[in-house]
Amino acid sequence: MMTNWKLFRWFTETSESEILEIGDEDWNPPIPESSFCNTEPVTDINSTTMQRSLCPWQWKLNHDENREPKIISEAHCLCRHSRGSSGSFCMPIKRQIAVLKRIRCNPTTGYYEYSRALQTITVGCHSVLPRSQKASSLTKLYRKTNIIEI
């Protein structure tokens, strides 16, 4: 029973972790873009979240037989540029989730053995302004006291 509690705590701790920021170079835009990307967002009272979104996405199932959970819903950005006239780009929002990876079957017990792991998935898409220059490394901003220079 204690093992279940440790596993539950680990899943809970990893689900409360921060959202990851990925660099522009880490993202490949969807090809080809949906015609939906060329339409203006609709904001009337009956509009859906997808119709109002500047950076719409669709859900796809990520399936892996050697992982628990075996199926994870993952967002995929439909557009490279934000809808509307902002001139912004659509970027994925990444998050790490706790999973169990199957490593082998124990020959004595006949049960599979699993190891804890973190998997990065896309949970949505958001609109970001383009950079006016290449961003500097964050490590250059930190001092020994972990204070960011601005």
Sign for the pseudo-dihedral over CA of 118, 121, 124, 126: positive
Instruction: Give 60-67's long-range contacts (Cβ < 8 A, gap of 24+).
Output: 62/121, 65/102, 66/101, 66/102, 67/99, 67/100, 67/101, 67/102, 67/119
CA 86, chain centre distance (Å): 23
pLDDT recorded at residue 110? 84
Q: Which residues of the chain have pLDDT under 50?
A: 1, 18-19, 148-150
pLDDT recorded at residue 134? 67
CA 116, chain centre distance (Å): 19
Q: Which CATH superfamily is domain 2-140 in?
A: Cystine-knot cytokines (2.10.90.10)
pLDDT recorded at residue 150? 44
pTM value > 0.75: no
- pLDDT digit string, tens, across residues 62-91: 999 999 999 999 999 999 999 987 789 999
